Structure 1
Amino acid sequence: MMVHQREAISRLPAYKQGAAAGDSGAFKLSSNENPFPPLASVTEAIASALGEIHLYPSMAVTEVTDRIAARFDVPAENVAFGAGSVEVLSQIIHASAGAGDEVIFAWRSFEAYPILVRVAGATPVAVALTADERHDLDGMADAITAQTRLILVCNPNNPTGAFVTADELQAFLARVPENVLVVVDEAYVHFNRDASSAVGIDFFRRYPNVAVLHTFSKAYGLAGLRIGYAIAPTEVAANLRRVALPFGVTAIAQRAALASLDAEAELTVRIDEIVAERTRVLMALRASGWPVTDSQGNFVWLRTGEGTDRVNAMFVHAGILARAFPGEGLRVTIGTAEQNDRFLVAAAAALAPATV
């Protein structure tokens, strides 16, 4: 007789990490990682923390909390940290929804959403994207029921790169009951250059049921250290701290986050380079015949449909590791100029034998 396990867990799809290049010489463009190495000042800060790894870190992440609170001009009690924004999202779901409750999100969106919802025992409600790869906010509002406890809005959306405008989010929130928490997931906010886009913190200030998720993994390049945070209503943030893994944010991650905040001028230059490369890649893809939509993330989305496996195989053969969603499309991270050039050659070749 096997020990008892939750049946729902055995049916969960495993979260898939982007393929690793190993020693193949391939370029890994599958995980939306920052292509630049850590800044010298950040690595020095990490090194300075190594002598204290026998001690527990600040469970309250006090110094970084104070810095984020000051930056966004919010009380520190509204800021809650975790081991990456995905772990903070898990905290939000566990604090907001359980058995019999529903969590609404667009689909396709961040792959972890339905997994985390089911782990919490709640029911995921996925609302299909529009034909132009954007959130169908009207459809999401129509999906609200008496069981809805939480709504996730990924802005810009991963993996399509589309964004939600401020006007759209305002109209959407007018239809959301005040007892339903709306989380604006802004993991890629630093790459979003469209002035009409919704800005999560603006809506947090205006609505009592809005929270915002940010991460140090993408623009700040700390993906390997795991640190992210929510800015949320006071009672929500307090509950996030209650359900958080104790000491989940390491001292090294906290030190690196502080150093990164100190080095934002240098990091902004790097972000600008990634955005410029994104523009170049999108223009080149269109010139070669790919019908790609605009992206405000550090990636582009190829809607390859039933041709996804074929195109992905061609990319792998050419030394490009993308993130494939079978039957749907491929997400390709913006890398260095050299990496992007190889991808563009492979993408043009993929169109040659057949129209995707």
Structure 2
Amino acid sequence: MVKAADVGIIGGGLAGLYSASLLTQQGFDVTVLEARDRVGGRIHGLPLGNGDTLDLGPSWFWPHQHRMAGLCQQLGLPVFEQYTAGDALYQATVNSAIERFAGAGTPLSYRIDGGVSQLTQALYRSLDNGCVHLKQPVHRLNRQDELWEIETPTRSFNARRLIIAVPPRAALESTHIAKHLSVPLQRTLRNTPTWMAAQAKLVAHYATPFWREQGLAGDAFSRVGPLVEIHDASAGEDRGYALFGFIGVSAQQRATLDQEALRQACLNQLGHIFGADALNPIQSVIEDWSQQAFTCTPQDCLDPPQHPECDLSAFSQELAHLQLAFASTEVAVQEAGYLEGALIAAQAAATR
């Protein structure tokens, strides 16, 4: 018989790792199962070879998000202000001149020095050796004799309590958890969009911050595309210089495009907006989250982008009976969708 952990946690992203950290500090025996070959989930970075990464997923947190600030301080992770010291640019049409506006006007936000991946890596290192299992996609969850039976393609695990720290739709899609849930709870989870699941970002790494040298913040907005919103994405205040942009082409359209052609179109657009220096990055990459099966479901590709709202308070008794909690950022009672929301949801799940 497989030894049962006190708590099984599905998902090794920020919410899963933070849940595990809180529980192990209280003496619980936890098992974390992550489908990918890395921790982090939607927190992922382009390695620069010196330990820094450029964020391919979430990048920012804001002054009112005290849990993020506190956790970074606790883990000894320096933070810095998003670079906004300069003007912003606007591309209205294909043929019109690029417009320049005094002052970027971007609200104050913070970045983690060396990339957000530093946060999940620090949490990962803080956990007991061997409690996180990578490359273990959960394809079946079954409640039997007061235990959760957890099956992956290669292994089986047991746990007395279960935290699902992956997006609700992804959990329903892949784990067969639905058979244990009431129809109203299934409906609530299925109607919860996965934050940023159908988005794609281009990140371009440069030897020098040429936009800053031109008095620009790196902020640019376009009605032309393929990039519709661009910002400074440097790994630190004075290193790892980069720009990133959200791609405005829909997930369905992107699926029909040649990725290399799309990447080159993005670079050509950066060159048009910022000048010839933008055409020659050290490296550039597109992260298309709609192609990530462990994050994005077919429904997420069809739905228009919207902020998640998932109130599970009406199902407290049902979840308590099942010894089950959901902990992805989508189910947070506040700051849902953000890094802060992942911490809020994780703390609530660990407390329950």
| TM-score, with structure 1 as normaliser | 0.28
Structure with the higher fraction of residues in strand conformation: 2
Greater share of helix: 1
